[in-house]
Amino acid sequence: MEYLFTGFIKAMELLIRGDASTWSAVSATVQASTCSMIISLSAGLPCGFFLGYFDFRFKRQIRTVLDTLLALPTVCVGLLVYAFISSRGPLGDFGLLFSLSGIAIGQTILAFPIVTAITASIFENIDRDLKLTLISLGAGKRDIIVTCLWEVRYGILAAAVTAYGRVLTEVGISMMVGGNIKYHTRTITTAIALETNKGMFADGIALGVVLMAIAFGVNLSLSFLRKR
């Protein structure tokens, strides 16, 4: 186990020294995951609200599809995105393959069903008496929607954190679509896999520490917002 301790010490040296390769992977991960989360939240929250708050035809079938997509393998998403943005695909002319934009597209597809499904479940389980109480108090449609959103704000935050955790730790999409290009599309997870296979445990541990720090920071922020 001595090599683990030695690797941890070297990892701290890499982080403190500002190793270019290490921080390049961190930057690529933050850029791609942040972009994908902005898009998935912007689209997923309204879709989840509509799906959970209103009753309409084929609602049950749509929920079944969404629940199935929650366990969507990342390599399948990577294969699908690769087929569309490669030179032989319909989006090949946009040059999205082996770019952070391509990774963000794949991660958005991965995160969108999570945000939508969890948000829909939250609004389906909201207290039915709340709406009746608001109507009896003379609240309009806008006031009812705003109040319902405020009541489930912690659940929405939990949905965002869950989706971000899935995006942050995925490997398949980043590897297949991004190509794991050093200083360009190499993310934390793909760099950890590569460096560990090369026997560079210090680099892998350094990136693992950063990944854990980001995850801890996100969950700490959620706890802070709940207290507030």
CA gap 58, 20 in Å, rounded: 51
Is the pLDDT reported for residue 137 higher than 80? no
Total tally of structural domains belonging to the chain: 1
- DSSP per-residue codes, 192-212: HHHHHHTT-HHHHHHHHHHHH
- In this structure, is residue 142 part of a structural domain? yes
- In this structure, is residue 180 part of a structural domain? yes
CA gap 199, 177 in Å, rounded: 25
CA gap 82, 71 in Å, rounded: 19
- In this structure, is residue 19 part of a structural domain? no
Lowest-pLDDT choice from 19-33, 74-88, 102-116, 196-210: 196-210
**How confident is the model over 199-208, as pLDDT tens digits?**
777 777 888 8
CATH assignment at residue 127: 1.10.3720.10
- In this structure, is residue 197 part of a structural domain? no
- In this structure, is residue 149 part of a structural domain? yes
The amino acid present at 125, given as its one-letter code, is: N
Establish how many alpha carbons lie within 13 A of residue 11's alpha carbon, considering only the half-sphere containing its beta carbon. Answer: 21
| Length of the chain (residues) | 228
- In this structure, is residue 76 part of a structural domain? yes
Q: Name the one residue in this structure whose structure tokens are 């942040």.
A: 34
Q: Are 185 and 103 in contact (CB under 8 A)?
A: yes
What pLDDT score was predicted for residue 7? 67
What pLDDT score was predicted for residue 55? 83
- Strand (E) or helix (H) holding 33: helix 20-53
**How confident is the model over 76-100, as pLDDT tens digits?**
999 999 999 998 889 988 889 999 9
- In this structure, is residue 75 part of a structural domain? yes
Give which of 157, 33, 46 is closest to 107, Cα–Cα: 33
**How confident is the model over 47-66, as pLDDT tens digits?**
998 998 888 888 889 988 98
- In this structure, is residue 207 part of a structural domain? no
Domain residues for the domain of 91 are 27-190
